[in-house]
Structure 1
C-alpha cells in the first residue's frame, strides 16, 4: 500500500541543542534504513520549512502507524496521511 505522508516538525525552542542534534541523527539513521528496505520510498524536503513529503510503501495502515510512531521525532510532528491508489489514466504498469 502506498501512502503520501506530510510531516511538519516542531521542536520546542527550549530543547537543548545537543538533545535536538541527537534526535535528528537518530531520525536520519532510521529514515535511511527504511529507505534502503524499500518502506520509505521517497523523501522530499519542503523548501523553507522544517517539513517533508514522503511516500511510504507498506503492507497495511497498521504497519505505517507503527513505523511513524517509531520515529524519534514523532512526538514533535504534525502528520497528515493520504492513502494512494492507481489512477485509471496512469500510463504506468505498476507502482515501482
Structure 2
C-alpha cells in the first residue's frame, strides 16, 4: 500500500538549540533506517518550509501509523496522509 505523507514540523519555543539538534540527529537516523528497509521510498523537502513529502510502501494502515508515530519529531509534527492508487495513465 502506497501513502504520501506531508510532515510539517514546528518546535516549541522552549526547546534549546541542543534539544532541536538532538531531534534532527535522531530523525535522520530513523528515516535512513526506513529508507534502507524500503518502507520509505522517497523523501522530498518542501522549498521554504520546515516540511517534507515522504512516500511510504507498507502492508497496512496500522504499520504506517506505527512508523509515523516512531519518528522522534512526531510530537511536533502536523501530518497529512494521502493513500495512493495507480493512475490508469501511468507508464510505470
Q: Where on the TM-score scale, by shorter chain, does this alignment land: which range? A: over 0.9
Deviations 1:42-77, CA, capped at 9 Å, x for gaps: 000001100000100000010000000010000000
Tell me by how many angstroms 1:88 deviates: 1.2
Tell me by how many angstroms 1:11 deviates: 0.5
Provide the rounded CA distance (Å) in 1 between the counterparts of 2:75 and 2:64.
Answer: 16
- Please give the TM-score of this superposition, normalised by the length of structure 1: 0.93
Provide the rounded CA distance (Å) in 2 between the counterparts of 1:45 and 1:12.
Answer: 21
Paired residues for 1:11-90 under 5 Å: 11-90=11-90
Q: How many equivalent pairs are there?
A: 92
> Cα RMSD between the aligned structures?
0.6
Deviations 1:4-39, CA, capped at 9 Å, x for gaps: 000000001221111111111001000011001100
- Please give the TM-score of this superposition, normalised by the length of structure 2: 0.97
Q: Which runs of 5+ in 1 are unaligned?
A: none
Moved over 4 A (4+): none
